[in-house]
Each structure stands twice: as structure tokens, then as C-alpha cells.
């Protein structure tokens, strides 16, 4: 009986080991499938992102290149304008205009307003006399 009991215990231990081994195998297979599904989902997400982002990046790079080309042409145009000469001419013209205004102001100050008013009054009286003479 003792042998039978030892055999039964051995069989029970072996069955327990097989059961643990089967459970371990099933869990390993289950986690392997989860990892495979996650890997496929990650690949799909990366593929979608690449397909969505790459055209936008290419478009952005094309726009940047066109902008740089436009900046180069504007730079060339600015070089050809000779801005320093244009600014000097504007400054000279402004100085001349200011001198002319100063001269005019001095002449206006020297003008005798009382004499001018008397001359205008005399002219007005003369025109009135001619008007009366010609019957208007």
C-alpha cells in the first residue's frame, strides 16, 4: 500500500506539473498573441501617421523653397534700387524746399501790411470810380 500511495502521490505531482506546464504554455501563447496584435496596431498607426504627415512636410518644404526664392529676388531688386542715392536726393530736395520756405517767410515778414492795405483800399476806390464812370 505504501507503494501504491507513493505511486498515487507521484502521479498527482506529475499531473500538477503537467497542469502548471499547460497553464504556463497557454499564458505564454496568450501574451504572445497580445504582443503580436499590439505590434500590428503600432505598425498601422505609424503607417497612417507617415502617410498623413509626409505630404504635408513635402508641401511645407516646397512653400519654404518658394519663399526663399522670392526673398532672393526681392533682395536683388533692393540692391538695384540704389537706395542711398535716392535718400540723398530726397534729403537734398527737402533742404532746398526748407530754404525756399524760409526765404518766403522772410519776405512776408518784410512786407509792410499797412501799405498793402492802403494800396488795396485805393484800388478798390479806383474800381468803384471806373464802375460809376461806365455805368455798371
Q: DSSP secondary structure string, 57-124? A: HHHHHHHHHHHHHHHHHHHHHHHHT-HHHHHHHHHHHHHHHHHHHHHHHHHHHHS-HHHHHHHHHHHH
Confidence of residue 13 (pLDDT cuts 50, 70, 90): low
Confidence band, pLDDT 50/70/90 cuts, at residue 21: confident
Half-sphere exposure of 68 (CA within 13 A, CB side): 6
**pLDDT at residue number 10:** 67
For residues 42 and 88, give the distance between their C-alpha atoms in angstroms, rounded to a whole number: 67
d(CA 67, CA 73): 10
C-alpha pair distances (Å), 65 with each of 27, 59, 130: 56, 10, 82
Share of the chain above pLDDT 90, in %: 32
pLDDT of residue 81: 76
What pLDDT does residue 94 have? 92
Instruction: Tell me the C-alpha distance between 131 and 125, whole Å.
Output: 10
pLDDT at 16: 64
- State how far the Cα of 124 lies from the Cα of 136, in Å rounded to an integer: 15
Over 60: is that where the pLDDT of 2 sits? no
Amino acid at each position: 500500500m505504501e507503494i501504491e500511495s507513493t505511486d498515487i502521490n507521484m502521479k498527482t505531482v506529475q499531473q500538477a506539473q503537467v497542469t502548471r506546464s499547460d497553464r504556463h504554455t497557454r499564458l505564454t501563447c496568450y501574451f504572445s498573441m497580445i504582443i503580436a496584435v499590439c505590434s500590428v496596431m503600432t505598425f498601422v498607426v505609424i503607417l497612417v501617421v507617415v502617410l498623413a504627415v509626409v505630404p504635408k512636410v513635402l508641401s511645407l518644404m516646397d512653400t519654404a523653397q518658394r519663399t526663399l526664392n522670392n526673398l532672393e529676388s526681392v533682395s536683388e531688386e533692393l540692391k538695384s534700387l540704389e537706395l542711398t542715392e535716392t535718400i540723398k536726393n530726397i534729403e537734398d530736395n527737402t533742404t532746398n524746399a526748407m530754404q525756399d520756405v524760409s526765404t518766403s517767410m522772410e519776405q512776408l515778414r518784410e512786407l509792410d501790411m499797412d501799405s498793402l492795405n492802403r494800396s488795396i483800399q485805393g484800388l478798390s476806390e479806383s474800381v468803384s470810380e471806373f464802375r460809376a464812370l461806365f455805368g455798371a
